[in-house]
A and B are shown apart, each in its own frame.
Chain A
Amino acid sequence: MERVPILKIGDILLVSIQVDMSDQTAVQLQEDLAERIVATGCHGVIIDITALDIVDSFVGRMLSTIASISKVLDAETVVVGMRPAVAITLVELGLSLNGIRTALNVERGMELIAASRADEWDEADVDEDAETTATP
């Protein structure tokens, strides 16, 4: 069975799927990613599907599951690089990629993750300020 490599870049895990995955390979990737998120403490996962010429219901479900697992582990998932023909087919197949954020390419995916982390920090700051003023 082939295995999809997971690269760590700063605070982000990058997965670029370059093979036509068997179902087993897809399930393995799910488990590998969960372990790497915990081991590295990364807060973002980017899944690059530029090389995938189809996304069927199994792979679609895998992407949704990865997004849910990483959310529970305090990491955000962005799927990038979906081909136009794949997007058209997904919609006709009836697959809604629940809970998945998408971006056109890796660069925008990284920006998206950075921006949403920054938002969270801002909110945390506001909470702290509120507390300090409330208890002088």
Chain B
Amino acid sequence: MTAGVDLGVPATQAISSDEDVVRVRQLVRTTAVAARLSLVDQTKLVTAASELARNTLIYGGGGSAEVTTVEDGRRRGVRIVFADQGPGIPNLDEAFTDGFTTGGGLGLGLSGARRLVDDFDIWTAVGEGTRITVTKWSR
């Protein structure tokens, strides 16, 4: 799991429609600004969140995003947990390959999102769902 102490209460956004993906972006943006992430880091985190929220909707059949401000003593960061009870990912290596997709997209969502954040943790089980935790730290 990601290191760091929670600061404040996590905010949760359900993901069950297109508009919810927009709401996740806005929630992450607001939290990232409050945590004093640089503009580039805000942009990277919001972009990663957009990719992962869309995955939760399209591949996971909907779920939720939980956004929390965290601290590890030296720096602040924003942690987001995307969770769904969908079909899970049978082959993670494949799913992390640039250009691989089962959904007709560009196949950059998962691999691209991992490049844009500092910490990336994934749990998935076929038939049970997927849970992805990402963190971006201030520099």
Task: Determine the interface band of chain A, counting residues with CB < 8 A from chain B.
Answer: 20 to 34
Q: Taking the nearest CB of chain B, how far is it from the CB of A36, in angstroms?
A: 23
Q: Taking the nearest CB of chain B, how far is it from the CB of A110, in angstroms?
A: 27
A24 to B20, CA, bound (A): 12
Instruction: Give the residues in chain A near B116, CB-CB below 8 Å.
Output: 89, 92-93
**Cβ B108 vs Cβ A57 within 8 A:** yes
Chain A positions 46-92 with a Cβ under 8 Å from a chain B Cβ: 53-58, 60-61, 83-86, 88-89, 92
Interface of B is mostly: helix
Total B residues in contact with A, Cβ cutoff 8 Å: 27
Residues of chain A touching chain B, judged by Cβ–Cβ distance below 8 Å, are 20-24, 53-58, 60-61, 83-86, 88-89, 92-95
Nearest B residue (CB) for A21: B22
**Cβ A24 vs Cβ B111 within 8 A:** no
**Cβ A85 vs Cβ B40 within 8 A:** yes
Given contacts A57-B105, A57-B108, 6 further A-B contacts (CB under 8 A): A20-B25, A21-B22, A23-B21, A60-B106, A93-B116, A95-B108
Interface of A is mostly: helix
A92 to B51, CA, bound (A): 13
Q: Taking the nearest CB of chain B, how far is it from the CB of A70, in angstroms?
A: 20
Of A83, A84, A86, A89, the most chain B CB neighbours within 10 A belong to: A89
A20 to B21, CA, bound (A): 10
